[in-house]
């Protein structure tokens, strides 16, 4: 493969497993409006003035990697490096201009917790709505429902409206849906460290327990978590893969990003 | 698209959940709740009936004018609610589209389904009104759902087309509001088409080429009185080809709207 020099050889226990995600040379750029044509008038005026109205920003610049089944992958990088865009491309929310993303199996994306949560619906209704958004049928949700509620420890509140939950409880509910959702690949963007100490301990135990049994892609800034959970980590800088390999080395390289600048 | 390989059934579940949420939250916090779905069109009807039926005597030569008028206002309310919700749907659900991947058309359809539910409730009221007014049910009543379906297809086509444009140019919402005002008077909802025909027959014929007018007049013909001038029987035999214009407009709007929406939907997440 061209232009992927920084892949350290790493023997994760999953190298022999089939590939579930294959990302090949993905390019993505956004048209950033310089003078936003919010209306017809501005659009027409801009055309007359010869203003293109946008400048192009390359966010992903040829990203390629494979993920094997049951691998726990960490994706790190500083703000604006292209992590979230990459994740949204994996989740098929964005479409790459060049390159391809192939996924074998179902991917459950959590770009944000509690997507579609509605404060005027009860906890129960929100679970089913959220499940439907992730592509689960009511029957599948029925099967998951008890586990979700138990994990969130919110059973007495399920018929209350979400707006009467504390913010911690809301996040706990959302997080429980995220980790109890049964899919082949779980995509988590910055969603660790929610709830109080006891709940965090529970999440940490849970992550340790699914390691090696579920494909997880985790985007985080917490290097401790990367070292603790990940089989492999990928460092992204300026839309390119800077390092793809051992979590410890990647964590080190990540911390060195700031030293380099100084 | 390989993944998310959601089955068709799961799309239906999502559609159901979104519609349920919309419908449940629509009248949240109001004392009368769902009753407003009935009261609003009935009140609009009462006002129009008082002004145009009683004071201006528009409906003197139309049998069962109250039912005739109610059918018109109800169908108009449906079209107006359906399109305004449908056009706004993608923008209103922007947050969702940026975070999860699912077929975008579901958002538009779910937004319009609330209007469909309201329409069905209102037609029960129309049937009750009709029976009280002494109209005997005939088999022609069964045609009404067909023409209403035609109107729903038109509304969906408009919602897809304008909803997709609205993502980039929010002016669409305001333009549509004004256009709806004009349309209300361009359709023989409160006045009989014969009033226009008195001064200008061609204008009357042109107004009846509008598919919304066609649907309203057909529904009235089938349910209220066969004295209604429909697009089909108002045009003469020599103008046969024009009789197909309303249905052609509906088909063109639906195909064009769906095609444009499909083309643009890939970029919604970025552009909202």
Is the CB of B100 less than 8 angstroms away from the CB of A111?
A: yes
- pLDDT value of position A2: 42
Is the CB of A120 less than 8 angstroms away from the CB of B25?
A: yes
Is the CB of B4 less than 8 angstroms away from the CB of A38?
A: no
- pLDDT value of position A44: 76
- pLDDT value of position A211: 83
- Top pLDDT among B222 and A110 is at B222
Asked whether residue B1 is domain-assigned, the answer is: no
- Domain range list for chain A: 63-261
- Cβ-in-10-Å burial (0-12, 13-18, 19+) of B162 comes to buried
Using the predicted structure, report yes or no on whether residue B120 has a pLDDT greater than 90: yes
Is the CB of B3 less than 8 angstroms away from the CB of A116?
A: no
**Partner B contacted by A120 (CB < 8 A):** yes
- Chain A residues with CB-CB distance to B6 below 8 A: 135
State pLDDT tens for residues A69-106: 999 999 999 888 888 889 999 988 899 988 999 988 88
Interface test with chain A among B1, B17, B25, B103, by most A beta carbons within 10 Å: B17
Cβ-nearest to B269 among A93, A133, A136? A93
DSSP calls for B33-84: TTHHHHHHHHHHHHHHIIIIIIIS-TTTTSTTHHHHHHHHHHHHHHHHHHHH
CA distance A233 to chain B (A): 23
Asked whether residue B251 is domain-assigned, the answer is: yes
Cβ-nearest to A30 among B6, B102, B270? B270
Strand, coil or helix: A203: helix
Q: Which A-chain residues 51-90 have CB contacts (< 8 A) with chain B?
A: 88
- pLDDT value of position B22: 86
Is the CB of A129 less than 8 angstroms away from the CB of B21?
A: yes
- Top pLDDT among B239 and B126 is at B126
State pLDDT tens for residues B230-244: 888 888 888 888 999
Cβ-nearest to A39 among B18, B101, B171? B171
Q: CB of B105 within 8 A of CB of B160? A: yes
- Mutual angle of helices B245-265 and B105-132, in 10-degree steps: 150
Domains: count for chain B: 1
- pLDDT value of position B36: 84
- pLDDT value of position A207: 81
Using the predicted structure, report yes or no on whether residue B20 has a pLDDT greater than 50: yes
Q: CB of A77 within 8 A of CB of A216? A: no
Output the six-digit token pair for A250: 């990647």
Which candidate, B118, B110, B119, places its Cα nearest to that of B145? Answer: B119
> What is the distance between the alpha carbons of residues B194 and B228, in angstroms, rounded to a whole number?
10
Asked whether residue B55 is domain-assigned, the answer is: yes
- pLDDT value of position B233: 87
For residue A252, give Cα distances in angstroms to A80, A260, B173: 19, 12, 52
Mean pLDDT of B130-155: 95
- Chain B residues with CB-CB distance to A41 below 8 A: 171
Residue with tokens 């592509």: A135
> What is the distance between the alpha carbons of residues B101 and B98, in angstroms, rounded to a whole number?
8
Asked whether residue B197 is domain-assigned, the answer is: yes
- pLDDT value of position B95: 86
Least confident of B177-181, B198-202, B219-223: B198-202
- pLDDT value of position A261: 64
Using the predicted structure, report yes or no on whether residue B156 has a pLDDT greater than 80: yes
CATH 3.40.50.2300 given to domain A63-261? no
- pLDDT value of position B135: 92
The stretches in chain A having pLDDT less than 70 are: 1-12, 33-39, 50-53, 191-195, 261-262
* Closest residue in A to B24 (Cα–Cα): A121
Complete edge-to-edge strand list for the sheet that includes strand A54-68: A54-68, A19-33, A98-103
Distance spanning both ends of chain A, measured CA to CA: 33
Cβ-nearest to A106 among B4, B14, B25? B4
Is the CB of A103 less than 8 angstroms away from the CB of B269?
A: no
- What is the extent of the structural domain holding B215? 8-271
pLDDT band at B60 (very low <50, low <70, confident <90, very high): confident
Q: How many beta-carbon contacts under 8 Å exist across A and B?
A: 89
Is the CB of B102 less than 8 angstroms away from the CB of A135?
A: yes
């Amino acid at each position: 493969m061209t232009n992927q020099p920084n892949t350290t050889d790493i023997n994760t226990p999953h190298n022999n497993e089939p590939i579930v995600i294959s990302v090949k040379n993905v390019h993505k750029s956004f048209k950033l409006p310089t003078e936003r044509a919010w209306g017809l008038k501005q659009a027409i005026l801009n055309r007359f003035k010869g203003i293109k109205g946008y400048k192009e920003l390359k966010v992903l610049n040829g990203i390629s990697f494979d993920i094997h089944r049951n691998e726990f992958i960490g994706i790190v990088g500083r703000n604006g490096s292209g992590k979230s865009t990459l994740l949204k491309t994996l989740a098929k929310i964005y479409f790459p201009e060049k390159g391809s993303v192939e996924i074998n199996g179902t991917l459950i994306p959590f770009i944000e917790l509690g997507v579609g949560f509605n404060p005027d619906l009860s906890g129960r209704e929100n679970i089913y709505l959220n499940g439907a958004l992730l592509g689960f049928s009511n029957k599948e949700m029925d099967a998951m429902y008890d586990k979700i509620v138990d994990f969130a420890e919110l059973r007495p509140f399920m018929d209350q409206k979400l707006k009467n939950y504390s913010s911690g409880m809301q996040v706990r509910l959302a997080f429980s849906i995220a980790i109890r959702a049964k899919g082949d690949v779980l995509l988590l963007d910055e969603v660790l460290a929610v709830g109080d100490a006891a709940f965090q301990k529970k999440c940490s135990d849970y992550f340790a327990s699914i390691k090696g049994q579920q494909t997880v892609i985790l985007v985080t800034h917490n290097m401790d978590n990367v070292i603790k959970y990940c089989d492999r980590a990928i460092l992204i800088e300026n839309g390119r893969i800077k390092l793809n390999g051992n979590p410890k080395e990647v964590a080190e390289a990540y911390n060195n990003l700031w030293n380099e600048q100084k | 698209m390989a993944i998310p390989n959601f089955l068709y059934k799961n799309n239906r579940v999502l559609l159901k959940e979104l519609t349920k949420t919309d419908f449940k939250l629509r009248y949240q916090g109001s004392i009368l709740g769902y009753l407003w779905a009935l009261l609003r069109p009935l009140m609009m009807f009462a006002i129009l009936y008082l002004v145009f039926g009683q004071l201006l005597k528009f409906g003197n030569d139309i049998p069962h004018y109250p039912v005739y008028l109610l059918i018109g206002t109800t169908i108009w309310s449906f079209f107006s609610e359906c399109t305004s919700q449908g056009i706004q749907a993608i923008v209103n659900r922007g947050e969702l589209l940026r975070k999860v991947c699912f077929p975008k058309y579901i958002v538009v359809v779910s937004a319009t389904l609330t209007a469909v539910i309201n329409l069905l409730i209102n037609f029960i009221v129309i049937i009750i009104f009709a029976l009280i007014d002494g109209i005997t049910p005939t088999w022609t009543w069964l045609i009404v759902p067909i023409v209403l379906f035609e109107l729903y297809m038109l509304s969906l086509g408009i919602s897809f087309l304008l909803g997709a444009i609205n993502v980039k140019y929010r002016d669409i919402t305001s333009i549509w509001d004004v256009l709806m005002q004009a349309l209300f008077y361009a359709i023989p909802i409160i006045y009989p088409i014969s009033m226009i025909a008195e001064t200008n027959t061609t204008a009357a014929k042109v107004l009846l080429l509008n598919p919304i007018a066609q649907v309203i007049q057909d529904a009235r013909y089938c349910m209220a009185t066969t004295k209604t001038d429909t697009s089909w029987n108002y045009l003469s035999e020599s103008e046969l080809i024009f009789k197909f214009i309303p249905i052609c407009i509906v088909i063109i709007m639906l195909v064009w709207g769906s095609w444009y929406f499909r083309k643009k939907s890939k970029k919604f997440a970025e552009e909202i």
